[in-house]
Structure 1
Amino acid sequence: MSTVSPTKKPARVRPVPAVSRAIAILRLLGESEQPLGVKAIADELGLVPSTTLHILRVLVSEELIEVDADTKRYVLGGGMITLARSVLEKGSFAERAQPALDRIASSFGVTAMFVEVTAQESVVVLGISHSAQPFRIHTDVGSQFNTLVSATGRLIAAHSNAPWSSLRQKFDAIAWDRRPAFTDWKMEVELAKEQGWSIDRDNFLRGITVLAVPVLAPSGRLSHTLVAAGLSSQFDQDFTTDLAQSMRQEASALSRMTLG
Structure 2
Amino acid sequence: MAGEVRSVSQAFAVLRLLADNAPMTLSDIGRSLGLGASSCFNLLGTLVAEGAVVRDAPGKRYRLSDGWAQAGLLRDGDARRMVDRLRPLMMRFAQAQGVTAGLWQVASRDRLHLVAHAESNAVLRIHLAQGQRQPLGGGAVGRAIAAAQAPGAEEVARRFAAVRWEKPIAFADYAAQVEVAARAGFALDEGYTHIGIWTLAAAVPQRSDYCLSASFFAGSRTAAEVTALGQALVALAETAGG
> TM-score by structure 2 length?
0.68
Deviation at 1:227, TM superposition (A): 0.7
Structure 2: gaps (5+ residues): 11-45, 55-61
Change (3 A) 1:82 1:121: farther
CA contact 2:156–2:175 (8 Å) conserved in 1: no
Q: Is the CA contact 2:100–2:117 (under 8 Å) kept in the aligned structure 1? A: yes
AA paired with 1:209?
W
Segments of 5+ residues of structure 1 without an aligned counterpart are: 1-23, 34-62, 67-75
Is the CA contact (8 Å cut-off) linking 1:216 and 1:223 kept in structure 2? Answer: no
**1:235 to partner: Cα distance:** 3.0
Letter of the structure 2 residue corresponding to residue 215 of structure 1: V
The amino acid of 2:167's aligned partner reads R
Q: How many angstroms apart in 1 are the aligned matches of 2:209 and 2:101?
A: 17
Larger Cα-atom Rg: 1
SS at 1:191's partner residue? helix
Q: 1:201: which partner in 2? A: 190
Find the partner of 1:103 among 92, 100, 106: 92
The answer to whether the 8 A contact 1:111-1:230 is kept is yes
In 2, Cα distance between equivalents of 1:182 and 1:191: 14
Aligned length: 189
Counterparts in 2 of 1:98 and 1:169: CA distance versus 1, 3 Å: same
Query: Which of 225, 235, 238 is residue 239 of structure 1 equivalent to?
Result: 225
Alignment match, 2:208: 222
Match of 1:40 in 2: none
Q: What's the counterpart of residue 130 of structure 1?
A: 119
Q: C-alpha distance in 1, partners of 2:219/2:192?
A: 14
> Cα deviations across residues 49-68 of structure 1 (Å, max 9, x unaligned)?
xxxxxxxxxxxxxx6497xx
Cα pair 2:110 2:159 within 8 Å, conserved: no
**2:242 is the alignment partner of 1:253:** no
Instruction: Report what 1:140 is aligned to.
Output: 129
Provide the C-alpha distance between the structure 1 equivalents of 2:226 and 2:83, rounded to a whole number of angstroms. Answer: 24
- The alignment's TM-score, normalised by the length of structure 1, stands at 0.63
Alignment of 1:40-59 (within 5 A): none
What value does the CA root-mean-square deviation take over the aligned residues? 3.2
Cα gap change, 1:161 to 1:106, in 2 (>3 Å): closer
Is the CA contact (8 Å cut-off) linking 1:215 and 1:226 kept in structure 2? yes
The runs of at least 4 aligned residues of structure 1 exceeding 2 Å deviation read 27-33, 63-66, 76-83, 85-88, 90-93, 117-122, 159-163
